[in-house]
Every structure is written in C-alpha cells, then in structure tokens.
Structure 1
Amino acid sequence: MKGSIVLLGLSMLAACTSVTGVNSRQDGHLSVTSRARWDIVSWNRIRSAGFKEAQAYCGKQHKEMHAVEVHSEGLRGVTTQTVEVIFDCI
C-alpha cells in the first residue's frame, strides 16, 4: 500500500512540469525551457526538470552537460513560472 502511494506521488510530481525539446541558439549554445503546469510547483522542481532534460540530451551523445546560464521568469502562485537552461555538451 505504501509503495502505491509513493508511486502515485512521484507520478503527480513528474506531471507538474513540462519541458520543451532541446533547441539550438544563434550563439551556438543549446537551450531547454521548463514550465510549471500548476501554481503550486516550486522553482527548484521546474529548474530540476530542465537540468535533467539537458543532462539526458548530452548523455545520449556520451558527453557531459555544462550549464552556461539559467534564466527564470514568473512568480509562484501569481504568474506561470518558467526556467530556461542554456547549456553546452562537452
């Protein structure tokens, strides 16, 4: 029973954010943007989702992710929160 509750909780947390695909930027870096689907999601969870996507992208290329910049926008409970991670695979 406890295992089912934990699994349900993790599934709900994963559904709290959406992440774009990796995009190439004009300056040669890559970027990914993560957004909160609900107002109750913390900035750290949104940031973490973006970093995980960037790390997975670089991992598929057998490289490591190097964060160049992180931009955030929005206010929890007031406006939609977004985090853009700009990175390179080295």
Structure 2
Amino acid sequence: MKGYVLLFVISMLTACTSVTAVNSRQDGHLTVTSRARWDLVSWNHVRAVGLGEAEDYCEKQKKQLHTVEIHSEGLRGVTSQTVEVIFDCI
C-alpha cells in the first residue's frame, strides 16, 4: 500500500510541472525551461524537473551535463514559478 501512495505522490508532482523541449541558443549553449502549473509546487521541484530533462538529453547523446546557469522567476503561492536551465553536453 505504501508503494502505491508513493507512486501517486510522484505522479501528482510530475503533473504539476511542465517542461519545454531542449532548444539551442545563439551563444551555443542549450536551454530548457520548466514551469509550475500550480502555485503550491516548490521551486526545488521545478528546478529538479528542468535539470532532469537536461540530464536525460545529454545521456541520450552519451555525454555528461554541464550546467552553465540557472535562472528562476516567480514566488511560491503568489506568481507562477519558472526555472530556465542553460547547459552544455560534454
């Protein structure tokens, strides 16, 4: 039963966050943006989803993630939270 509850909680958190496709920037870096769909989602979760997407992208290319910058906007419970991860795969 505990396993089902944990699975439910994880799936609810995943549904609370959206993430864009990985895009190239003009400066040669890659970027991905994650957004909280609800105001109750923590910044740490939004950041983790963006970093996870970047890491998955690099792993598919058999490379390692190198984070260049992380930008965040928004305030939990007040405005929508957005995290932009700028990275390279090396």
Which interval holds the TM-score relative to the shorter structure?
Answer: over 0.9
Percent identity reads 72
RMSD: 0.7
For 1:13, give the aligned amino acid: L
The answer to whether 1:40 aligns with 2:40 is: yes
Cα deviation, residue 29, structure 1 = 0.2
Structure 2 match to 1:69: 69
Structure 1 match to 2:87: 87
Aligned length: 90
Structure 2 match to 1:51: 51
Structure 2 match to 1:17: 17
Structure 1 match to 2:4: 4
Structure 1 gap segments, 5+ residues each: none
Structure 2 gap segments, 5+ residues each: none
TM-score (norm 2): 0.97
TM-score (norm 1): 0.97
User: 1: distance between equivalents of 2:5 and 2:48?
Assistant: 23
